[in-house]
Structure 1
Amino acid sequence: MSTLVKSADRTLAILDLLTEHRDGLTLTEVQRRLEFPKSSTYVLLMTMTARGFLEQDPDTRRFRIGIRLWQAGQSYVAINDLEKVALPYMETLRDTLNETVQLATLDGTDNVYIAKVDPDHHLRLASRVGVRLPAYATGIGKALLSQLDEDDLRDRFADTEFVRYTPQTVTSLPELLAAVRQARTHGYAIDNCEYTPGVFCVAAPLNGLRATTRAAISVSIPEVRKTPELIRRTIDTLCSTAHQLSLRLGYRDGAAPTTRRD
């Protein structure tokens, strides 16, 4: 960590914090949450505001993400294009199964949701685009991790503290490696109430993207609607959709995916 530039690291920490607080935070709230010196926090906030990366409400004095950060985000064409290309496939998958379908990419050890389509059930998954979750605790995360080699996995999670969100959560690196190997073998990953109690998820990786971009799609099923027949249909339909979308993204292996449900 000695190679980090302190002011740059603090700037990025502020952006991370305000990304999670859409209503904004005051100078004091930012300083207390990040435990930075108040004087340097003020200077960083005002500099970022002057450059348009933050904006400050004149009445509440709260700082929020600014227009320049949004503009910078729009330059990430790979994710923007991926969402546009994937959405019709996601909608067809949703229409076929009538369950929540999500699209996510991998960022470090987290999966970040970039698109979602909801079913017409009253009981549905309460999630939103932009949320990041630990990849070890979700089905879509394990599908994303299945695209990495084991050396990369070990390096990424070497210092990770595995939090137990439910009794089913993966809580160690060996356990995660085993789950990822299983996902590679089967062609899909499963999250059996590992992050959200009462939610079963099946996820499949996408191919055809540039080497630095990892993506996957998932289907989430409430426990009350889960049946062996629905799980079987979900696995088959999801894997077929993931393969079709991968071909659309430029994947050149025309062989249809084979899946195992043992």
Structure 2
Amino acid sequence: MSPATARAAGPAGSDGDVDAANAGPPQAAGAGSIKSAERVLDLLQLIASEGSQAWTFSDLRARLDLPKSSLHGLLRVLTDRGYLDLDPDDKSYRIGVSAWQVGRSFLFAEQLATVARIHLRQARVDLNETFQVSILDGVDNVYITKEESDQPLRLVSEVGSRLPAYTTGLGKVLLAGLTVEEVEDRFRGREFVTFTPSTVASYDALKSQLDEVRAQGFAEDHGEFTEGVYCVAVPIRNAAGATVAAVSCSIPSARLQDAHATRERALAVLRTCADAISEAL
């Protein structure tokens, strides 16, 4: 489905203008990508790709073809920050503990997916609709596991895919778990692309919807990314009560003869499912 061309900007900076000086992080790499950041990633990926192999300065320079001064600087910063370990005897480099800590966030997603699958299966049995679990990454929600309905008409989606969080019920639940200030920071300078006539088209509209989500404890998506699909979602919380993920039920609009009753049945199943997942984490 091709997105519409209508776009609106996120919240303005302190002077009321949305410009390059006040904009948030760049939306995509490209002409403005930072060469040093690319070199850092190339360096880490190379060292990590060989498992336990240690790399000398000469080895790294030969593989990456970087200027000596640049490579020295990158290695010094990564070692100081704990992303690389330097062996003082043979002056070789290995992946450090800070990189491991970053990787633990991925391990959480794997653990969550494993735990969630059991309870999604039961939810699917209860309603025979499609259930999905997502986590938040920046301003996108990323699907980490799902259980599909076996009905002929059903939502088709893929684990590992991502969608703009402002276009989905899952995403709105995840954004509502942040503070107002955190949401504003993430969307500052970003454009709101309208994918369907129902898509949230501005930051102010999103902010209003998130206030409702926080008050009622769930979010809805009336065909805001894919026309003809209704979605309702609730948060999955950790022991401290923070939203760490969200679970949703997606239903083709053609099966919404009684929208209110369908939503209430879905919410009952979703809340049971979310509570069970939370307890198992």
TM-score range, shorter chain: 0.5 to 0.7
Task: Say whether 1:231 aligns with 2:260.
Answer: no
RMSD, aligned CA:
2.9
Report the CA distance between 1:73 and its aligned residue.
6.8
Amino-acid identity (%): 42
Structure-to-structure mapping, 1:39-188, within 5 angstroms: 76-188=106-218
How much does 1:126 deviate?
1.2
CA drift at 1:76: 2.3
CA distance in 2, matches of 1:177, 1:75: 27
Q: Distance in 1 between matches of 2:272 and 2:242?
A: 24
Query: Quick one: distance in 2 between partners of 1:170 and 1:89?
Result: 31
What letter matches 1:204 in structure 2?
Answer: V
The answer for the alignment partner of 1:6 in structure 2 is 35
Q: Distance in 2 between matches of 1:196 and 1:236?
A: 24
- Determine which structure has greater relative contact order: mean sequence separation of CA pairs < 8 Å that are 6+ residues apart, divided by chain length: 2
Question: Which residue identity does 1:86 align to in structure 2?
Answer: A
Moved over 3 A (4+): 9-13, 72-75, 209-213
Q: Secondary structure at the match of 1:159?
A: coil
What residue ranges of structure 2 are gaps of 5+ in the alignment? 1-24, 27-32, 43-63, 67-101
Pairing of 1:247-262 with structure 2 (within 5 A): 247-249=279-281
Aligned to 1:221, which of 233, 251, 254?
251
**What does residue 51 of structure 2 align with?**
none
C-alpha separation between the residues in 2 aligned to 1:245 and 1:107?
Answer: 20
2:221 alignment partner AA: D
Q: CA deviation at 1:181?
A: 1.1
Which moved further from structure 2: 208-217 or 228-237? 208-217
1:174 shift after superposition: 1.0
Q: Is the 8 A contact 1:101 1:219 kept in 2?
A: yes
User: Contact 2:168 / 2:225 at 8 angstroms: preserved in 1?
Assistant: yes
- Count of aligned residue pairs for this structure pair: 194
Matches within 5 A, 1:191-206: 191-206=221-236
Question: Which consecutive residues of structure 1, in runs of 5 or more, have no partner in the other structure?
Answer: 14-41, 45-71, 250-262
Native 8 Å contact 1:74 1:80 kept in 2: no
C-alpha contact (below 8 Å) 2:123/2:270 kept by paired residues = yes
Q: Distance in 1 between matches of 2:135 and 2:164?
A: 12
Deviations 1:52-110 (A, max 9, x none): xxxxxxxxxxxxxxxxxxxx979821111111111111111111010000011000000
Q: Which amino acid is 2:224 matched to?
A: E
How far apart are 1:210 and its partner, in Å?
8.3
- 1: CA distance, partners of 2:39 / 2:119: 40
- C-alpha displacement of 1:119: 1.0
TM-score for both structures, normalised by structure 1: 0.67
Residues 153-187 of structure 1, C-alpha deviation per residue, up to 9 Å, x if partnerless? 00000111000111111111111111111111111
**How far off its partner does 1:243 sit?**
2.3
Does the 8 Å CA contact 2:130/2:249 hold for their aligned counterparts? yes
1:141 and 1:127 map into 2 onto residues whose CA distance is: 15
Residue 22 of structure 1 is matched in structure 2 by none
